[in-house]
Structure 1
Amino acid sequence: MYYIDESEVPSYDKHRTYKIRKGDTLQSVADALGIDAQELRRYHNIYCELPDLIEADFKGHLKLLILAPEKDKTSKKEEIEKKTEKVSLGSNYKLPFSPERTDKKYKVKYTSKIGDEIDVMELVINVKWIAVDANKYHLFEVNRAADIYINGRLPDTMMSELAAKTAQVLYPLKIVVDEFGKWIDIYNYNEIESRWGKIKSEILDYYEGELVEGYIEQTEFVLENSERLLNSLRSDYFLRTFFNGIHVEYTADYGFQNDLQFPLEEEAESVFSVQQKMDPNLDDAGFIKIEQKGNYVDSGFGFLYGYTPLKVNYNAVYVLNSENYIIEKMNLECNIEKDIPIKTIIAIEIFDNKKK
């Protein structure tokens, strides 16, 4: 059983920190330190444990805020040494994609905030590399732990239980990923389809009623053919953020502008104009950091959420291992500015087997 203990206080010995006092808010601390509040939150969220992510403000259990290192206290010698720790790129400034022998578990946390209402889903997902062909298409197996926590608890409603049970048909999921690390196809559709009969039988043995019948009908509609299943899975936040295609060619200044698609609505793509930037130097922990920042672009297919013009910003940070270029952790946020603001946060980091 995997459970993220909200009361656990992680060790931040390797970071500069601020001890949070009673009455402190993100804005008050930012003002006192002379740092932009969003930058303060962004840096903390890159290096903190998942339960300690700052959303609108500090959580009640949070005791320490992680701060960026003070550059002016770094000696010239140390600064020179750090500058020599450049990110190693391939030809044409391409960030290599070397997933061979990857077999890692990740803690995944989805946070949805609508106004003052917050819902959190936590789970563990395993990513395993299987093979690569002559055209540099990689085959991965993605598996998911059975336990899914909704707001810190196992599902306790029939709808949640049905969703968790039905999702079992997908796993293990085998996917095709291109040479840039972007997910492009499902490999084991026939295997998934064959699993449905057993799972459907188990559902009907335990549940009954119109709601269940409707759920089964919808599932069978999605599983009718591989193209329909692929379109449905394009809304899967983990697949879209983890296999986002960040292993591409960068410019000489380690950045570029491009359009990026992301599914803010079910089975609907939103287009963002994004500035993608890689830090040319490894960070203090020896990791590669890549940031994506952008805003929603009207692609001509209407507007999000009720066809009303909206301002939506997209911010993502990827932290990669500098030896194999595999994701160590990442954090993605989409903020929709409207009368009742909407925020979606996807946080992923390598799972520590010692913590249950």
Structure 2
Amino acid sequence: MEEEITSGEITRTPAKFAGNFSVLLQLKPPHFSRDYEVMIVFSEGMNELNLKYQLKVTYVKTLEKARIFRLERLSPVYINEDLPDVLLDQLALETAQVFYPLLLEVDFDGKFLSVHNHQEIVGRWPELKEKVKEYFVGPVTERYLDLMEKGILDQDTVSERFKNDLFIRTYFAAIYKSYGVDYRLEEQVFFPMNEEPDPPSFLCRQEVDPYLNVDGDLEIHHHGNLELADFEGDYKADYVLDAGTRSIERIHACWNLKKEQLKSTDIMVFRTDPKAPVQEEAAENQHLSSLVYLDGEVKQKRGILGSLFRR
């Protein structure tokens, strides 16, 4: 059994784990709801692009084989602190509203599985489409809306788009599992980056700190190296979890890829709402951008969001 350790004047408390040194998410609806600010920085050579938005994540319920979470947009997407000013970026921002509120199915390890409320999204589309057409006109708009509609009507396409969303891939990651007696394990992890046809694979060492940090939170650290012949690269991530519920307080993840020149992607997620009282966070049973751009083959100037989020 771990004991408190003291370093200088700081005493660290041992973390509590389930069987086989497992980290398990322990939530009870409707008390779990978190507001987050998300910042994503794309760097390539001397060029840098910053995206920022806010959203709310709410735990809804547990099904037989998955949990349901609801995502709600609290702000538009800002590009380098400004709203989009390119037509396709503006269309992407406006039409993305059709997805929210967004319900996701997530497995008990914390990994995204699929979009749960596809039919609701399809039902919202006609009204939003007409509203968009009141403000945007022309052949580019018509072509964009047609392609968007085709993507929305196909459930697999919608789930695949969100599977490749950087926030969802990072926040809904498989971090709730057994880390073993050494508090660490190695696994292959994949991330959708840089419009590569196949997502880069990282051999990732995942470690959970057996002691709570100075704020009384649990930390999980990822260190990965790229497993792809044509690239050099690495991945690092720090997850900070509430010690009681194991819900995410903040994340900082960074990917570096180098082929002809270095490309870096940083994502920072942190809570903007105050912590809820512990007594409201009763444990569950022990059963344990985001913007989406469905642009197809539009051949006009894409703008920043279009080039980043198309596949």
* TM bracket, shorter-chain basis: 0.7 to 0.9
Matched position secondary structure for 1:291: strand
* 1:136-159 Cα shifts (integer Å, max 9, x gaps): x21111111242211011222322
Match of 2:21 among 65, 89, 93: 93
* 1:5-59 Cα shifts (integer Å, max 9, x gaps): xxxxxxxxxxxxxxxxxxxxxxxxxxxxxxxxxxxxxxxxxxxxxxxxxxxxxxx
Normalised by the length of structure 2, the TM-score is 0.81
Counterpart CA distance in 2 for 1:289 and 1:170 is 32
Say whether residues 1:158 and 2:79 are aligned partners: no
Q: CA deviation at 1:268?
A: 4.3
Matched position secondary structure for 1:98: coil
Say whether residues 1:102 and 2:19 are aligned partners: no
Matched position secondary structure for 1:264: coil
Say whether residues 1:220 and 2:149 are aligned partners: yes
Aligned to 1:338: 259
* 1:272-316 Cα shifts (integer Å, max 9, x gaps): 110001111111111111111111213xxxx7xxxxx11021111
Structure 1: 5+ residue stretches without partners:
1-70, 304-308
Aligned to 1:139: 68
Higher helix share: 1
Match of 1:128 among 52, 55, 58: 58
Q: How many residues align?
A: 267
Which moves more between the two structures, 137-146 or 313-322? 137-146
Counterpart code for 1:223: I
Runs of 4+ in 1 over 3 A off after TM superposition: 265-268
Counterpart CA distance in 2 for 1:252 and 1:349 is 30
Counterpart code for 1:297: E
Query: Contact 1:235–1:268 at 8 Å: present in 2 too?
Result: no
Counterpart code for 2:231: L
Say whether residues 1:198 and 2:127 are aligned partners: yes
Query: Relative CO higher for 1 or 2, CA cutoff 8 Å, sep ≥ 6?
Result: 2
Normalised by the length of structure 1, the TM-score is 0.71
Cα RMSD of the aligned pairs, angstroms, is 1.9
Matched position secondary structure for 2:174: coil
Say whether residues 1:247 and 2:176 are aligned partners: yes
Matched position secondary structure for 2:120: helix
Identity of aligned residues (%): 26
Say whether residues 1:296 and 2:226 are aligned partners: yes
- Larger Rg over CA atoms: 1
- Residues 258-337 of structure 1 mapped to structure 2, 5 A cutoff: 258-266=187-195, 268-298=198-228, 309-337=230-258
Match of 1:111 among 41, 48, 54: 41
Counterpart code for 1:94: S
- Residues 170-209 of structure 1 mapped to structure 2, 5 A cutoff: 170-209=99-138
Match of 1:167 among 83, 96, 101: 96
